[in-house]
Every structure is written in C-alpha cells, then in structure tokens.
Amino acid sequence: MAGGKETPRQKMIGMMYLVLTALLALNVSAAIIEKFAILNTTLEELVSDDRDKNIAKLAAIEKSTSADPKVLDAIDRAKKVRELTKSTIEYLDAVKKELKTGSDKKLLEGENLIQNQNNPEEVMLNETRATGKDYEKKLKDYVKSLNDIMKLQKPFGKLNKKAEDFDEFKNDKKQETKNFLQFSFEGTPLMAALAMVSQKQTDVLEYEATALDSLNRITKGVVFEVDQLVPMVQAETNSVVAGNYYEGDLFVAGSASGISPTMFKDGQTLQLEDKDVGLSSKVKMGKIKFLASASNYVDGVAKMSYKVKINIPGRAPLDRSIDYKVIRPVAVFGSAAAATLYRDCGTEVNVNIQGLTDLSSLDLSIPAEQGKAYKLGPGKFAILPTRAQCNVNVLLGGQSIGTNKFETQDAPMPIAKVLAGPNTIDIAKGVPAGTASVRIEPEIIDQIFAKNNNRDNKYFVSGLIMQINGGSPITIRSGTIPLSQYNVRKGDNISVSQVQVQRPAYDGSTKQVNGSKMSVNFRIN
C-alpha cells in the first residue's frame, strides 16, 4: 500500500533514494556515497516534521465531541496507532545509533562516519548479533499490528521489501537471490545504511498518517456536534412566597455530550459534575459554592455579582457577570441568660441567624479589656465579661455582621447557711448542745445565676473569724467550726464574721466573692 498522499518533497526524496540505491548497486565512487549523508539529514528532518504532524492529528481526533460508540472507538484506535508508531520510531533510532557505534563503543563522527564501510554488515548481517533479525521483525510486527488495529479493506503493505518488490531491481540478477537484510545492507556503506533506516522511519510515519486520516474522517476532528437539547429555566429567585407569582425565562440549552469544558468563577477553576436534567440527558455543569458576604447593605440588602467563564475547545471563551442579592444576617442571642451577664463569670449562650442552617462559620469576638468569648460548638458560645459593659462582635465567615452591647453586674453575694452534718440548722432555735461541729456554707439567692452559671456558682468558704461569748477572735481557715475543740457549752453565744468566700471561675481561675452578708450569730441550746 502506498499510504497517504505524498507531498512534492516526499516524492523528490523518494526518487533521490532510488537513484542513489541504484548507483550503490553498481559500486559507484565514494563521492556518490557522500551524497547519502545529505539524503539522511533530509530524511531525518522529514521524520521530525511528520512526527509533529501526526501528533497534531491525534490531538484533533481526541477533541471530537461526539459520544457515539464508533467515535469513541476511533479515538481509542488513534491512540493505539500513535503509541505503536512512537515505539517503532524510537526502536529505529536505536538501530541507527548502533550502526554508528564503532568497535571502541564510541559514536563515529566526521570522516570516520562517512567513510565507514564495515558497520552495516557487522551489525545487521552478523549471525552472532540479533540486531538484523530484530530489525526485520520489528518492521513486520508494525505492519501486522497496524492492520489489526485499522482493519481496512486494503491493508498496509510490507516494509521489509526485497529487490523483487522494486521495478528498478526485480530483473537484476545480482540482487534477485538476496533476502531483505542482504538487499538492504550487504556491501552498503554506513551513510547509505543510515539513510535506509531513516527511509523506513518516513514509511512508518506515512502509514501512521494514512491511518490517522482514516480515523479522523470518523471523528470529524474538532467539529462540535450538539447532540442534546435540554429545556432549562433561569429564574430571578429560587424561592417565592405563597401568593406571589413565580417568574422565569424558559430557554433551550444545546449540549455536546463529548465536550469537557473548563469553567471558572472569579478566575478559580470549578469542579465539573454531570447533572441529570431529565429525559435521560446529562449536562456538564460547574459546581459553584461560596460563602456569601457583603458590606454595602441598603435597607438590609446588598446587590452583588461574580464573574464566570467557560472555555470550550475551538471556541472563544464565554464570559458573563452573574448578579445576586445578599440579605444582611441578624444575630439572635437565644439564651435567657444573655439578658444578664455577670462579670468574671462564663455565661453560655446560643446564637442563631434566621435563614442560616450552617452555623460553623459563626464566631464571637470581645475586646481584650472587656472579656473573652469561647466557642463551644456551632452557634454555641460562652461569654466571660470583665467590665461593666461588654461589646460582643458577631463574625460570620470572619466578617463582622454586627455588635451586641451587654450591661454586666457583679456575681451575686451569698448569705450564710449553717449545717450540722447534712442538716440545715434553724439558727433561731439554736444549735443543739453536744454538736461536734457546724459548717458555714454560702447560699445563692439569685436563681438566674444559680441556674445558668453552673461553672461559677460553686461558692465555698475559705476562712472566717469566730468569737465565743464576745471573747477573743479565733481565725478558722475553712468553713467548718469544730465546736468540741473549743469546749463550747450549752448557753454559749457564737458569733461568725469576716467570712471569706471564693468560687472556681469559668476560665479555671479562683475568684474572691463579696461575703459581707455571711455574718451569722447562733446560740448553743
């Protein structure tokens, strides 16, 4: 098979090669052999050009947009043809390198390269070396594999041609008994042998070009075929209040199933997804997902936009600006405790934003001199103020959406409760004589604080002053008074004052509490 349509340049080189081969068979002078160096250089340039053209042909085939099974099969076969040809060309390059390698394992150069007469027979015809047989087998395998891939009515012809396959040599008695390797390399100078292998490379690339042209006629190159028409609606909004009209624009979208466009939002590449739009049709759509934010609100609404771009092979980019609206978010502090914040105490609050279901990006910020805020989970926080006023800044996605100002108050002062064991003592009735000890404990009257500040309401007595019948003050380093230790008797009057009260704070520290209401007097009865 002759292959694809030859260019004038290819025809000229082919004619030169035949003429020089004929002269070589007549054992012409070395001056003619030098012309093979020029011919080989030209052939190698042609190999490079043809390889680039075939790579471009494959790229065009791969850009076909149709999902027809025949087209997909043609694309797959084109890839196989290119890979087969690529490996064959690389093998032939290795053969040429071996032909140019001297006995000292170094590449021949200059006059040594042009005048060498021995390497072709030593490399290609020496029975102790497999290069020649492998060379012929590689050419046979290429043609067989190419025909297996293409399955054309007129298959590609053999590349291992002998004298009988050329009109110019088929009647030459000196050549008719020679096999392919002998015809190609027997008595052949090195430069002629190199040109011979380079010529085979052009033949291989010509076969590939013919195969790719045949497959391109199936895929139609980069022609875009719109093979899906899908009805779609573009609406101003995706939600409508009952009783209002839904308004949108109905249009037809054309889609080519084989296209994989590249999509961008504000310059960032989008991930493509195949969206099922009904009627057994799927359209590639770019996934856009971002946190909406704004600062230029007018009456609680900000008009915003973002830019999109779609790149489709073979067409100019499609650009558009998409408008949308952002509603100002309003933070609602849902805990009743938020109405009463206590200084140096942690109050846990729930914060919600109407219409926002994902609260993971919600945060609170308080000026350092006014306190701290702890994030306990999505929409749940603890506020720990340290000043009379606490300004709580609400952040959404790192941006402020408003500040809530809270007035704070001191942690409530406790009153004294007297216990003997587990029982509370009615001090109006007095402490029974013989009681070994009593315990002074703080009691919190503020029930809001007691209920909502669980980590700050564990008051305890750390010390007090006791007097028996107005005698000398006795310092006790806890809230427990060991009555038996001081020989307290029936009728004694006990006075408790300067009670020191502390509590563990939300942040892990220990705070002093005003215990001025903790003074208590009782009688031993």
Domain boundary among 270, 292, 327: 327
Asked if residue 53 belongs to a domain, the reply is yes
For the cut 80, the answer to whether the pLDDT of residue 380 exceeds it is yes
- The continuous run of DSSP H or E covering 82 comes out as helix 69-99
- Separation of alpha carbons 479 and 214, rounded Å: 101
Amino acid (1-letter code) at residue 148: D
Can you read off the two tokens belonging to residue 411? Answer: 């942690």
For the cut 80, the answer to whether the pLDDT of residue 227 exceeds it is no
The CATH number linked to 353 is: 2.60.40.10
Can you read off the two tokens belonging to residue 8? Answer: 């004038």
Asked if residue 313 belongs to a domain, the reply is yes
For residue 315, the model assigns a pLDDT of: 65
Q: Exposed/middle/buried for 523, CB within 10 Å: 0-12, 13-18, 19+?
A: middle
Tallying the residues shown for the chain, one arrives at 525
Query: Structural domain tally of the chain?
Result: 4
- Separation of alpha carbons 211 and 78, rounded Å: 8
For the cut 90, the answer to whether the pLDDT of residue 21 exceeds it is no
Same domain for 493 and 397?
A: no
Q: Please tell me which residue, 221 or 300, carries the higher pLDDT value.
A: 300
Same domain for 274 and 165?
A: no
Domain that holds residue 480: 415-523
- To the nearest whole number, what is the mean pLDDT of the chain? 82
Can you read off the two tokens belonging to residue 249? Answer: 């624009």
Each residue's pLDDT tens digit, 248-277: 444 445 655 556 678 777 888 877 776 665
Integer angstrom CA distances of residue 55 from 47, 58, 221, 492: 12, 5, 13, 112
Same domain for 269 and 342?
A: no
Same domain for 460 and 516?
A: yes
Each residue's pLDDT tens digit, 435-472: 999 999 999 998 888 888 889 999 999 999 999 999 99
- Separation of alpha carbons 518 and 417, rounded Å: 8
Each residue's pLDDT tens digit, 69-118: 899 999 999 999 999 999 999 999 999 999 999 888 899 888 888 888 88
Task: Name the DSSP class of 485.
Answer: G
Q: Please tell me which residue, 35 or 431, carries the higher pLDDT value.
A: 431
Asked if residue 1 belongs to a domain, the reply is no
Domain boundary among 292, 327, 362: 327
User: What percent of the chain is modeled with pLDDT above 70?
Assistant: 81
The pTM is what?
A: 0.44
Same domain for 85 and 182?
A: yes
Cα R_g (the chain), whole angstroms: 48
Q: Exposed/middle/buried for 413, CB within 10 Å: 0-12, 13-18, 19+?
A: middle
Lowest mean per-residue pLDDT among 264-268, 394-398, 519-523:
264-268
Asked if residue 421 belongs to a domain, the reply is yes
- Separation of alpha carbons 7 and 9, rounded Å: 5
Amino acid (1-letter code) at residue 130: A
- Please report where in the chains the tokens 């590609």 appear, as a residue: 156
- Sorted by sequence, the CB contacts under 8 Å of residue 19 that are 6+ apart come out as none
Each residue's pLDDT tens digit, 133-192: 999 999 999 999 999 999 998 999 999 988 787 776 777 777 778 888 988 888 888 888
Same domain for 96 and 60?
A: yes
Greatest mean pLDDT among 14-18, 302-306, 437-441:
437-441
